[in-house]
A = this chain, B = another copy of it.
Amino acid sequence: MRPMKPRSGRAAEDRVFNAVLNAILDHRLAPGTKLVERDLSELLGVSRGAVRTALARLGHSLLVELRPNRGAVIANPTPEETRDVFEARRVIESAVVQGLARSIGAKQLAELRAFVAEEQKAYDRGDRRTGQRLSIRFHKLLAELAGNAALDRFMEHLICRTPLLTLAHRGSRPAYCGADEHREIVDALAKRDPVLAARRIASHLNTLEKQLHVDAEPGPAASLSEALVDA
């Protein structure tokens, strides 16, 4: 095991932040997992101060719960929070695609089509993890192309929280965010039909939300060292 020159500064902080974030996005960290500062620090080869500020940022994003004097754990969203997040996503993403349907250009359309094709290929060859990642990023891409930095930021926030919602309420099986529905959304954008695009994405989000039944206990927390090794 390499000693790995202890990184410092913003780089170290981002390292921790992204490690935890990616682990959440890939369902490798379950709600309730305790994040011990010293462990993270040694595991990632950064100072404890960097871990601390990264945890503060994660807490601000509601991805981890910061319990004063008692450390940080991966957030365990309540059913209310789940409803709120999906409702917020319907509101914001509907607006995003409505705007996009009016302003989209040929180049952006091509980018979206290429993205969906990539996504489909991943699912076709059985690569669930890659498919899952691309499915998440499809929604982010819509927000970026819409060109509103404020809404884009909110979308990022909501998207990153979504995996935790599924884990908290559905055990470890990730929700399926199909490439088919994504393609239909892009088709609506190609027709420059704001109403249709909005209806389709709202329907898509409803499909996702319905997959979450509030029945399962959160699965067992993976060990930190296992979860933080990026694939």
Taking beta carbons and an 8 Å cutoff, which residues of A are in contact with B?
A: 10, 53, 56-57, 60, 68, 80-81, 84-85, 87-88, 91-92, 95, 148-151, 154, 158
Contact = CB atoms under 8 A, between A and B. Distances in A.
Contact of A68 (B10, B95, B151): B10
A87 B56 contact: no
Nearest to A95: B91
B149 A91 contact: no
A162 to B, nearest CB: 11
Given A10-B68, A95-B91, A151 B56 contact: no
Given A53-B56, A57-B60, A80 B154 contact: no
Contacts of A84: 148-151
A80 B10 contact: no
Name, among A57, A68, A95, the residue most crowded by chain B CB atoms within 10 Å (CB to CB).
A95
A56 to B, nearest CB: 7
Contacts of A68: 10
B85 A150 contact: yes
Nearest to A161: B150
A49 to B, nearest CB: 10
A178 to B, nearest CB: 24
Contacts of A56: 53, 56-57
A94 to B, nearest CB: 9
